[in-house]
Chains A and B, each alone.
Chain A
Amino acid sequence: MKSDQLLFKNRRPGETTFLKGYLETGGYEGLKKAFTMDPAQVREIVKASRLRGRGGAGFPTGMKWSFFPADKPGEKYLVCNADEMEPGTYKDRELLLADPHQLVEGMIISAYALQAPTGYIFIRYAYERCARNLERAIIEAREAGFLGKNIRGSGFSCELFVHRSAGRYICGEETALLNALEGRRANPRSKPPFPAVRGLFDKPTTVNNVETLASIQHIITGGAAWFKDLAATVEGAGTKLYGLSGHLEKTECHELPIGVPLRTLVEEFGGGVWKGRRFKACLPGGASTPYLTAEHLDVSMDFEPLEKVGSRLGTAGVTVFDDTTCMVEATLNLNRFFARESCGWCTPCRDGLPFVNWILEKIERGDGVMEDIDMLRDQLRNITGTTFCALAQGAVGPIESLLRLFEEEVVDHIKRGRCPFNP
């Protein structure tokens, strides 16, 4: 399967494309075009493109922007969420390693559309090379006159800053990110007020993912209809970066039309399950999405089709498990991560996830009893939808699907009094 390459058009192994190469492939043409339009027109095109946020929640970008008081005077901020810390997700890193100007150009256009002259890129501490690439790209863009005061005579001024996260998963939650950016503890804020009303330093703020912002210039250049048609599904729009990991022959990141079948990803791009083993399950969109099994292989990897089969597209970081994997152990491993990364603010997440951890550990160890399954369900029911932010909601996804799809395997652990995969 071959497809249009937008974000990865300049990607070459072991290389980073900077300004010169970026300009050669039509870089900053989107920006030039955007500056011929009204900010409102730019926003309109983005809305018409039906682009959905690429950070995991899939909220329509155009709608998010429509809440932003772009036309009101005063300080406003655009923040790029580059705190990519979802296990199994590395698409933003791939993009920033290959072509940092993609994000810089997208951010300038978005800043123009939103009339937010200051942009912050909040980047994961471990992505030091990406941060340096961005810093260099920002300097290059400023020197080339794409950033700074009165850009290309448009009257619009814009500055971008790279801020390295101190590093916690919760910093990816947009309001916790804003707190961290302000130098506070990375606890989520209560919503409402939403960041569009009161965000960074209490000013209107829009927070978008790297991939979302990098898509903007392509939408402007190619137009909303063209962008929508890039998708493999009717309801989808654009391309998507799919990061493959786990028990596959090839674990790489690919830019493909959104809505590509899972089977294509696994069999064609992943080269099939490794060591000739069989496909058992996968996380379709990072660690916080419910599992899919072999019966779901034909699902289109887009937001709506995945929701229909009980999972989510998330970040589209596909992690595949072969048939030798103990799903209890895999789930326990995921839950350990979420329990550790809880910010500690609200009780169900802070204390509920460790409780769940203890039950899963007990079952995996072979000490489980049948009542533990009910207790696990009872815990999940009370963690779901009762927490301050979505972290615990995500954590519950795999566990809930473990009980839904692999209950027999859990019962097997209890009946045998040991893990069937770890004799």
Chain B
Amino acid sequence: MPTLTIDNKTVTVPEGANVLEAAKRLDIVIPHFCYHEALGSVGACRLCAMKFLEGPAKGIQMACMVEAKDGMVVSTQDEGAVDLRKHVIEWLMMNHPHDCPVCDEGGECQLQDMTVAGGHGIRRYGGLKRTYNNQFLGPFVYHEMNRCIQCYRCVRTYQDYCGGTDFGVLGCNQRIYFGRFRDGPLESVFSGNIVDACPTGVFTDKTFRFHSRYWDLEEASSVCPHCSLGCATIPGARYRELQRVRGGVNKETNGFFICDRGRFGYGYANHPDRPRIPRIGDREVSWDDSLEEARGRLADIAHRHGPAAIALLGSPRASLEANYRLLTLAHHLETDRIAFEAHPERDRTARVVAALSDKNSRSLEEIRNSDFLLLVGADPLNEAPMMALAVRQAVRRGAGAALIDPRPVGLPFHAVHLPLAAGRLSEFLQAVCAGTFENFSRQERTILEGIAERLRRAQRPILIGGGDLLGAAGVRDLLRTSEKLSKEDRPCGAALILGGPNSYGAALLSGETSDFNGILDGISEGRIRALVCLESDPFTDHPDLSRSRSALAKLDLLIALDCVPTTTAEKANIFLPVKAPAESAGVYVNNEGRMLAFASVFDPGTPIRVTGGGDHPPRVFEPGTPRNPPMSAWSVLGALQNRRESLNSLRREMEGEHARLAGLASLDPETDGRRVLPGGGRFEIPEIPAIPTEEKAFDLISIQSLFGSETLSAFSPVLDPVRPVPRFLMHSADAAEIGLAAGETLRVTTDRGGFELPVALSEVMARGCLFIAHLKGSPVDLPFPGVRFAARVDRRKES
């Protein structure tokens, strides 16, 4: 631990830290462009110059390139260093356009800050500025190359950190160009990060262009609601409208970056059809009337059919506080019919993880520092993209990676891929436990033994599983395998991808309650007459849609609380609009079991863009929000129980009720969150009926697609251009057997109905499998991810 002196202040830093980082610890601001904590030092911009007075380095050196050593004495205020920094700004400003007034980066531009701070106020260079042609980079990122100061951050983010290959640096000398070989959408699903990485306005958020100035935005630390990883985000809102999302910093989860679904999937909050006013039937009413009606009708049903005739459905999309208030509503109504997930298998999976994962649960940061990663039934780029990026960082540091998955999974890193059939993933995990691969073919055995050997030798191995493909039993097997492979001095970790941002939290509240299928049965049989749905959509999120729809049609009373116009919200007898994630404060428990608090970014209400009739700039700005703005789900549910409370008192109550939630009340959105305490370690998985196997039947598996499957982002119009088209994915050898070519239409019949869709072919997938990517809101009722069924296939006869 070297100790050095910077500007007469002494600091001790970890071995290997550079002088710039050391200065940061002393709160000494060192101007820099090319250095980035996640991207490292490259010494390109030459702005972090310091004078080294004593120690191994001497003279003016770049702070980012010099490793901190004992006894170094450094001055940031040295005349020569200050002069050089001033000149660096002058050089960078030679060609930079003076277009700050019309540049979207204005106000949050590092070049602007440095130009002012560096004292470069008078332009000496009188030559022509070099100019470039810009490129079309797709719907997300706007390109303005003239503003480039060649810090190389974008290419280091896009290529090095994120593994993208279609964007890079071209040309040389003063004509360096950062772009694609030719115009076209950026292919990486992490493309938006170059917006955050760019210190000036070369890459700006196209969806946010000309919307607001940075300083006019309401911003707060938040957590991404689009998958189970809980990446930190900083949403920005103005005029009662969520206008953009940028990456936040959480060293334990995402680090610095986020995926494009997290960044550009925010449109749901401003959706033109978003229901913002309480409704009884089709009638818009006041909050008081709607709550009165809900309380009255619930009491009425309890009175006539008994309290057990009321059921409640929570959601992995709703905050921990809202789900908790739903649970106490059940207590208040004296019913025990409550589930926290409309999808029973996802429910079981999350409950297995919440109960069994313990010391072996791993954060993304731990994945980044792992030395061997085995992915089983996981397609992180579609299910939880930042997981893929975390593994990539480990692989860049020399870790090995292997993937056992029936799908042709694309990954931003090199991994050995063995496409085992979905039904054999548990068998594989058990074989890893047992250390013998007798039941596998010779070819498979060679690969599997190699993987098992790497797993044994690794010091920090982690098993990564996808909940949808593994299911509850597979997840249990994976957790057991990680325990089995752990030794005292060398633990084997596990990380699982779950269904929603709060799947773990919802599961944690579930206790011993039954699943949603039990509730559906109760409704079908007439025992249950009323259902309260909290941010859940059983009309579309159930694996067996005909079953759920026919049952739900029999309800006497459907009460829905939501922030998006789902089918359930539309069909509800009483609809109660609630705040969208960015509007409300709350807590999610991510896949690792980490409680992550998010702050309220802005107050909800109809955007001024709508109330003002689209005038720009808005002429009408009432201080209050019009009519009845949505409320936080927890406060709506509290009101149904006649509670008036603050978020803090609610959290204190929760902490008292649930031992695992220790520290909840003092959770701060500005921190990296806090792990829940370990569970009881017991969870009995109920017997799951086996999939009927048929001769010559295909295993039809519904899988997630990044821009198609998740509820909130499905309501974000910005993502429309990148949504996948519904199609089947099939092994080319299987297709050849029935004489099917890529692009032709495949007819699939199952006991849940038939589909006719075009087919795409692959050679790197398991035989006998048929995949279909779930697409929310698609005209075809595609099955929900996490379902498998037997399917008979044939080529559609051309009529």
Task: List chain A positions with a Cβ less than 8 A from chain B.
Answer: 168, 170, 185, 190, 339-348, 350-352, 354-355, 358, 361-362, 375, 378-379, 381-382, 385-388
| B131 CB, nearest partner CB in chain A, Å | 14
- Which residue in B43, B59, B90, B124 is a CB contact (below 8 Å) of A385? B59
Contacts A355-B125, A358-B127, A375-B124 given; does A348 touch B176 at CB 8 Å: no
**B94 at the A interface (CB under 8 A):** yes
Contacts of B36-62 to chain A: CB distance below 8 A: 42-47, 49, 59-60
Once the chains bind, are B150 and A347 in contact (CB under 8 Å)?
A: yes
Comparing B81-89, B527-535, B600-608, B690-698, the segment that makes contact with chain A is: B81-89
| B151 CB, nearest partner CB in chain A, Å | 9
CB-CB under 8 A from B45, the residues of chain A are 346-347
Once the chains bind, are B124 and A341 in contact (CB under 8 Å)?
A: no
CB-CB under 8 A from A190, the residues of chain B are 42-43, 65
Once the chains bind, are A382 and B173 in contact (CB under 8 Å)?
A: no
**B169 at the A interface (CB under 8 A):** yes
CB-CB under 8 A from B174, the residues of chain A are 339, 342, 344, 350-351, 354
Once the chains bind, are B43 and A344 in contact (CB under 8 Å)?
A: no
Contacts A354-B94, A355-B91 given; does A344 touch B173 at CB 8 Å: yes
Beyond known contacts A344-B150, A345-B152: 5 more, CB 8 A cutoff: A346-B44, A350-B91, A350-B173, A350-B176, A386-B60
Chain A at the B interface: mostly helix, strand, loop or mixed? helix
Question: For residue A387, which residue of chain B has the nearest CB?
Answer: B46
Contacts A382-B84, A386-B49 given; does A344 touch B125 at CB 8 Å: no
Once the chains bind, are A382 and B125 in contact (CB under 8 Å)?
A: no
CB-CB under 8 A from B94, the residues of chain A are 351, 354-355
CB-CB under 8 A from B172, the residues of chain A are 168, 170, 341-344
Once the chains bind, are A388 and B44 in contact (CB under 8 Å)?
A: yes
Among A346, A347, A385, the one with the most B-chain Cβ atoms within 10 Å of its Cβ is A347
| B569 CB, nearest partner CB in chain A, Å | 53
**B92 at the A interface (CB under 8 A):** yes
Once the chains bind, are A385 and B127 in contact (CB under 8 Å)?
A: no
CB-CB under 8 A from A350, the residues of chain B are 91, 150, 173-174, 176
Contacts A185-B169, A341-B173 given; does A347 touch B91 at CB 8 Å: yes
**B753 at the A interface (CB under 8 A):** no
**B171 at the A interface (CB under 8 A):** yes
Once the chains bind, are A358 and B43 in contact (CB under 8 Å)?
A: no
CA distance A170 to B49 in the complex (A): 24
| B127 CB, nearest partner CB in chain A, Å | 4
A-facing mask of B166-180, CB < 8 A → 1, else 0?
000101111110000
Among A168, A375, A385, the one with the most B-chain Cβ atoms within 10 Å of its Cβ is A385
Once the chains bind, are A386 and B46 in contact (CB under 8 Å)?
A: yes
Once the chains bind, are A348 and B169 in contact (CB under 8 Å)?
A: no
CB-CB under 8 A from B46, the residues of chain A are 346-348, 386-388
Once the chains bind, are A348 and B91 in contact (CB under 8 Å)?
A: yes
CB-CB under 8 A from A341, the residues of chain B are 172-173
Q: Size class of B's contact patch? A: 20 to 34
Among B65, B83, B172, B175, the one with the most A-chain Cβ atoms within 10 Å of its Cβ is B172
**B613 at the A interface (CB under 8 A):** no
| B181 CB, nearest partner CB in chain A, Å | 15
CB-CB under 8 A from B127, the residues of chain A are 354, 358, 361
**B430 at the A interface (CB under 8 A):** no
| A172 CB, nearest partner CB in chain B, Å | 14
13 contacts between A and B (CB under 8 A): A342-B174, A344-B150, A344-B176, A346-B46, A347-B47, A351-B91, A351-B95, A352-B91, A354-B127, A355-B94, A361-B127, A378-B87, A382-B83
CB-CB under 8 A from B150, the residues of chain A are 344, 347, 350
CB-CB under 8 A from B176, the residues of chain A are 344, 350
Once the chains bind, are A342 and B87 in contact (CB under 8 Å)?
A: no
| A182 CB, nearest partner CB in chain B, Å | 15
Question: For residue B93, which residue of chain A has the nearest CB?
Answer: A351
Question: For residue B33, which residue of chain A has the nearest CB?
Answer: A347
CB-CB under 8 A from A354, the residues of chain B are 94, 127, 173-174
CB-CB under 8 A from B43, the residues of chain A are 190, 346, 388
Once the chains bind, are B173 and A348 in contact (CB under 8 Å)?
A: no
A-facing mask of B109-131, CB < 8 A → 1, else 0?
00000000000000011110000
CA distance A352 to B94 in the complex (A): 9
CA distance A170 to B171 in the complex (A): 13
| B527 CB, nearest partner CB in chain A, Å | 69
| B370 CB, nearest partner CB in chain A, Å | 22
- Which residue in A339, A347, A387 is a CB contact (below 8 Å) of B173? A339
CB-CB under 8 A from A387, the residues of chain B are 46
A-facing mask of B256-271, CB < 8 A → 1, else 0?
0000000000000000
Once the chains bind, are B87 and A345 in contact (CB under 8 Å)?
A: no
Once the chains bind, are A342 and B173 in contact (CB under 8 Å)?
A: yes
CA distance A42 to B125 in the complex (A): 55
- Which residue in A347, A358, A361, A375 is a CB contact (below 8 Å) of B92? A347
CA distance A340 to B172 in the complex (A): 8
CA distance A358 to B129 in the complex (A): 11
Once the chains bind, are B173 and A343 in contact (CB under 8 Å)?
A: yes
Question: For residue B172, which residue of chain A has the nearest CB?
Answer: A344
Contacts of B595-653 to chain A: CB distance below 8 A: none
Question: For residue B173, which residue of chain A has the nearest CB?
Answer: A342
Top-10 shortest CB links A-B: A351-B91, A344-B176, A358-B127, A382-B87, A342-B173, A344-B172, A347-B46, A347-B88, A347-B91, A344-B173
Question: For residue A352, which residue of chain B has the nearest CB?
Answer: B91
CB-CB under 8 A from B47, the residues of chain A are 347
CB-CB under 8 A from A361, the residues of chain B are 127
CB-CB under 8 A from A347, the residues of chain B are 44-47, 88, 91-92, 150
Once the chains bind, are B125 and A358 in contact (CB under 8 Å)?
A: yes
CA distance A185 to B125 in the complex (A): 30
Once the chains bind, are B59 and A379 in contact (CB under 8 Å)?
A: no
CA distance A193 to B174 in the complex (A): 27
| B57 CB, nearest partner CB in chain A, Å | 11
Once the chains bind, are B44 and A348 in contact (CB under 8 Å)?
A: no
CB-CB under 8 A from B124, the residues of chain A are 375
Contacts A340-B173, A344-B176, A382-B84 given; does A351 touch B59 at CB 8 Å: no
CA distance A259 to B436 in the complex (A): 74
CB-CB under 8 A from B42, the residues of chain A are 190
| A270 CB, nearest partner CB in chain B, Å | 33
CB-CB under 8 A from A346, the residues of chain B are 43-46
Question: For residue A354, which residue of chain B has the nearest CB?
Answer: B174
Once the chains bind, are A348 and B60 in contact (CB under 8 Å)?
A: no
CB-CB under 8 A from A345, the residues of chain B are 44, 152
| B147 CB, nearest partner CB in chain A, Å | 14
CA distance A324 to B151 in the complex (A): 43
CA distance A350 to B177 in the complex (A): 13
CB-CB under 8 A from B169, the residues of chain A are 185
Among A351, A361, A375, A379, the one with the most B-chain Cβ atoms within 10 Å of its Cβ is A351
Question: For residue B149, which residue of chain A has the nearest CB?
Answer: A347
CA distance A351 to B87 in the complex (A): 10
| B41 CB, nearest partner CB in chain A, Å | 8
Contacts of B724-768 to chain A: CB distance below 8 A: none
| B427 CB, nearest partner CB in chain A, Å | 40
CA distance A375 to B127 in the complex (A): 15
Question: For residue A348, which residue of chain B has the nearest CB?
Answer: B46
| A177 CB, nearest partner CB in chain B, Å | 15
CA distance A190 to B95 in the complex (A): 26
CA distance A289 to B176 in the complex (A): 27
CA distance A388 to B49 in the complex (A): 12
CB-CB under 8 A from B173, the residues of chain A are 339-344, 350, 354
Contacts of B289-311 to chain A: CB distance below 8 A: none
| A239 CB, nearest partner CB in chain B, Å | 36
CB-CB under 8 A from A348, the residues of chain B are 46, 87-88, 91
Once the chains bind, are B84 and A386 in contact (CB under 8 Å)?
A: yes
Contacts A339-B174, A347-B44 given; does A352 touch B125 at CB 8 Å: no
Question: For residue B152, which residue of chain A has the nearest CB?
Answer: A345
Among B43, B59, B174, the one with the most A-chain Cβ atoms within 10 Å of its Cβ is B174
CA distance A347 to B174 in the complex (A): 9
